[in-house]
Amino acid sequence: MAYLDNIAVFVRVVELGNLSAAGRDMRISPAVASNRIKELEKHLGVRLFNRTTRHLMPTEHGSVFYDGARRVLEAITEAEAAVSALSGQPRGTIRITAPLGLGRRLIASGIPEFHDKYPDIEVRLRLSDHNVDIMKEGIDVAFRLGLLEDSSLRMRGIMECERVLVAAPDYLERRGEPKTAQELIEKRHDCLLLRFPGMREFFWMLSMPTGPVKFEVRGPFDSDDGDVLTDWALAGRGILNKPRFEVEPFIRDGRLKVVLPDTPPMPVQLAAVYPHKNLQDPKVRLLLDFMAERCQRLIRERLVVK
């Protein structure tokens, strides 16, 4: 098992690029991760990494070993999944990711309940509004609001989510409430913008009478954290484009008002995305079933007027 542990650490170091990140991911210290790499290099009799100040790059030997090591770990995972299916006792670790708002409101609070039902399954959650590369970072399931762009992945649709434009009443009093989508652009309203790495433009797809129309939008504020945008909207700093379930409590208590209700943003698909191979893993199927039902229930509860 020690040798397999060393291989597992090596694979994560290659995928994440440094010892600290791999150590955090595997819940070991950087010193332990470093020792495991040294043990593996000693066993193989070659240097596996070229070390720089911030990153570890695999040597030619390291790149060759990585390809085989990853296949070995995948084969072990598949074998364990097959045994779990036969025994009826799923076990192991699932790595999942979700956007910040979705993860905080729907996913994170359900993980302890899932673990209570399946105590032999560990769940490691990463929340980020960045588009995480699930293959590179070893993610088993990614919950996303949007379209599937990578054909090498599978997607399980959970539900379609209504989106709305909202703003605080004091912002609308100060700047005027836009009555048309064209007025939103022409009067240069402050749009609160979610930024992703490498993004060069911001646009909102609005449902017009003739069909979806793309509007390029601008504003003095952008962030890579969707909840920060909500805070800015509540503070009267601009107009926000959000899934309705995330802002419904603020609409209901009057702190936010729906803008352009007749030409709302296009709805977005809430879905779970995962590598093809994970479909056969019983613990992944259990998590998908559990979270799909939970998300549907909680979103409907948030949207029901009480």
Domains and CATH numbers, the chain: 1-87 (1.10.10.10), 89-159+268-306 (3.40.190.10), 163-266 (3.40.190.290)
Q: For tokens 């590369």, what's the residue?
A: 133
For residue 205, pLDDT beyond 60: yes
Half-sphere exposure of 166 (CA within 13 A, CB side): 26
For residue 76, pLDDT beyond 80: no
Of 38-52, 232-246, 268-282, the one with minimum mean pLDDT is: 268-282
Q: How far apart are CA 198 and CA 231, in angstroms?
A: 24
The H-assigned helical ranges of the chain are 2-16, 19-26, 30-44, 60-87, 100-102, 111-117, 169-175, 181-186, 226-234, 244-252, 282-303
Q: Which residues contact 151 (CB under 8 A, 6 or more apart)?
A: none
Mean pLDDT in residue range 156-174: 94
- The reported pLDDT for the residue numbered 164 is 96
Record the pTM.
0.71
Q: How far apart are CA 115 and CA 5, in angstroms?
A: 24
Q: For tokens 């994970």, what's the residue?
A: 278
Task: Indicate the average pLDDT of the chain.
Answer: 86
What pLDDT band is residue 107 in, cutting at 50, 70 and 90? very high
For residue 192, pLDDT beyond 90: yes
For residue 231, pLDDT beyond 70: yes
- The reported pLDDT for the residue numbered 84 is 62
**Count of all residues that appear for the chain in the document:** 306
For residue 251, pLDDT beyond 70: yes
Alpha-carbon separation of residue 28 from 16, 20, 92, 123 (angstroms):
15, 9, 17, 16
